[in-house]
Structure 1
Amino acid sequence: MIVVSTAAEALREVRTSPPEVLLTSLSDSLDGETLCREVKQEAPELPVLLLYMPEEENPEERATAAGADACLVGPLKRTTLVTCVGLMLQLADTRAATRSTQAPAPAPAPESDDAAARRFGLEGPSSPDFDFLKRLLLMEVKRSRRYRYPIALLLMELDHLSERTAQLGSSQRTTLLAEMLGLLSGGVRDIDVIVPTTEGRFVAFFPHTPRVGAMVVAERMRQRVRTLARLPNMTVSMGLSVFEPSPVRGQTQVSFGNLMKDANEALRKAQAEGGDRVSFIEREVPSEEEEPSED
């Protein structure tokens, strides 16, 4: 990784030692949007990720106008940044493969979700990001039960993604996923985590969040999806599961598995009802619970 502080240094590095991905932001000494335009003139295939402060207005529109492949709005989370950079690397590989093709190939058929997931390395349990989320949830479930604070899991799937992106190439789909990840991440707190699982599907985890708060966040994210610059008026179906320990009664037996099961069931319900909505299915709590023994 090479770090520079001025546009002149960045352009010099692009010319002498082209990076695989360029990350740039706006500061007193560096106008990332202008740099993006200049870089795209000299190296149009180089993926550029623009980073914006939370107070910046219209970041998605500005990033698109500058020619960036995607943007993220701070405060940035490590998982989000790593995942987005990974998508940008996939975009670079796709463009390199396209350039190496000797003869123009016919337009590729739309990929299935499974094929796309294998290409992105984001297919559920085999994804490093998904594994990170699972480990985090396992720890948070234990803490939630012990210290009695609520946690929420939100499963999101873009509606009719295959039809909406049928005419897009693989690199455009990769860019779209990166933009969507940045858009979703910009609507949550620092302590929240969002990771993609398969193409068009994302999982979000909200610690210290009861059902009412989780529904508010989910609705806000649903509205943000509609502002996706590269696919206007996109909609998303969401399934929410929540664990809210009682402050008096014993501990409800909850696990990563049943949180995912409940979220999946709620997602299917949202899709069956036409999509573009948030659904929640309440888990039944046993009438009597034993107080756990303290080791």
Structure 2
Amino acid sequence: MAFILVAEPSASIAGALRRFLESAHHEVTVVGDVQEALARVRELAPAVVMASVSEGFDGEGLCRQLKEEAPGIPVLLLYLPEEEQPESRAAAAGAEACLVGPLKRATVVSCVNLMMQVAHAREAVAQIRAELQMQQSAGVRRESTPAGSSPDLDFLKRLLFMEVKRSRRYRYPISFLMLEPDRFAERVAPLPGPQRTSALAEILRKLSEALRDIDLAVPFAEGRFIVFLPHTPYEGAMIVAERLLQRVKEVESVPGLTASLGLAVFEPAAVKGQAQVSFGTLMKEAGDSLRRAQAAGGDRIEGGRPTPVEPTE
């Protein structure tokens, strides 16, 4: 059971959301005012904040204030059915995810549970990294592992497998990024061991700082990173990708560093059935896009707007 704060001025909508979440064994508090929502967050530190975006309630403004005070708390914005650009608006406000009404119980519960799972997953990955850094500081050598066998990547595979199934069932998009510093073999790989490790750690830190709490960045192979963006269509993924390229340029340990980035997006078609997508297909598409970006000279993003994948019989 987790504590969820619902910021919704409509009594009928708030009541429905409360029933949805309580049926999934969550504890729910409902508020109808932005200032009251902020006060509750400071007092209770909820696992997730759900905030309405409507004429009578500035959920996006609430989200921005929350991210200044408590950036670690995931925010789910709720938009009216007539909203045409919910994903880009939610991304601009700093929210981890958004839903567009009318809302169904399965969609609301699934989204909230996923947000909490990813938040916990990021904590677990951070703990793994902290332990590895402690080992390195103590002089314990980390044995190299083949690509695809690191604890971070194994976890991401399991997470993405679960998320792809939800994406197909509940018809929401996911995005997958692969990033590599340009001229890595010339600029980073030749550095002495401790200096190279420090540079890679700084790159990963810069990437993580540019992401929402619901997103996840992990090392894939030395010099290559993968980033998973749930509930993110092409437009939102491009905003994040541009931000990541800029953050790489801010790395102090390797001045003037740039990066290439490959993008893969899964946007299920609005029809019934099972679309064909997997961790492997997303990895291949992102990898192919990354190679195109590198071949074009680097410091760029490749990966075009996806065509929705139609289901197979």
The unaligned stretches of length 5 or more in structure 1 are: 1-53, 57-74, 98-117
1:233 deviation in Å? Answer: 1.8
Residue 160 of structure 2 corresponds to residue 130 of structure 1: no
Residue 232 of structure 2 corresponds to residue 209 of structure 1: yes
Residue 215 of structure 2 corresponds to residue 192 of structure 1: yes
TM-score computed with the length of structure 1 as normaliser: 0.60
Alignment match of 1:84 (pick from 93, 111, 129): 129
TM-score computed with the length of structure 2 as normaliser: 0.57
Higher relative contact order (CA 8 A, sep 6+): 1
Q: What residue is the counterpart of 1:180 in the other structure?
A: 203
Q: What residue is the counterpart of 2:109 in the other structure?
A: none
After the TM superposition, which of the residue ranges 246-255 and 176-185 deviates more from structure 2? 246-255
Structure 1 vs Structure 2: percent identity of aligned residues? 52
Runs of 4+ in 1 over 3 A off after TM superposition: 118-121, 248-251, 281-286, 288-291
Q: 1:12-27 residue pairs with structure 2 within 5 A?
A: none
1:240 deviation in Å? Answer: 0.5
Following the alignment from structure 1 to structure 2, what is the Cα–Cα distance between the partners of residues 86 and 267? 30
Alignment match of 2:251 (pick from 228, 239, 246): 228
Alignment match of 2:274 (pick from 226, 247, 251): 251
* Alignment size in residue pairs: 198
State the Cα RMSD in Å.
Answer: 2.8
Q: What residue is the counterpart of 2:170 in the other structure?
A: 147
Following the alignment from structure 1 to structure 2, what is the Cα–Cα distance between the partners of residues 258 and 172? 34
Q: 1:96-175 residue pairs with structure 2 within 5 A?
A: 119-121=143-145, 123-165=146-188, 168-175=191-198
Task: Write out per-residue CA displacement over residues 124-177 of structure 1, whole angstroms, 9 at most, x where no aligned residue.
Answer: 221111000000000000000000110000011111122113652101111111
Following the alignment from structure 1 to structure 2, what is the Cα–Cα distance between the partners of residues 248 and 230? 49
Following the alignment from structure 2 to structure 1, what is the Cα–Cα distance between the partners of residues 308 and 233? 16
Following the alignment from structure 1 to structure 2, what is the Cα–Cα distance between the partners of residues 150 and 91? 38
Alpha-carbon contact 1:151-1:207 (below 8 Å) kept:
yes
Q: What residue is the counterpart of 2:296 in the other structure?
A: 273
SS in 2 for 1:251: coil
Q: Say if 1:244 and 1:285 are closer, same or farther in 2 by CA, change over 3 A.
A: closer
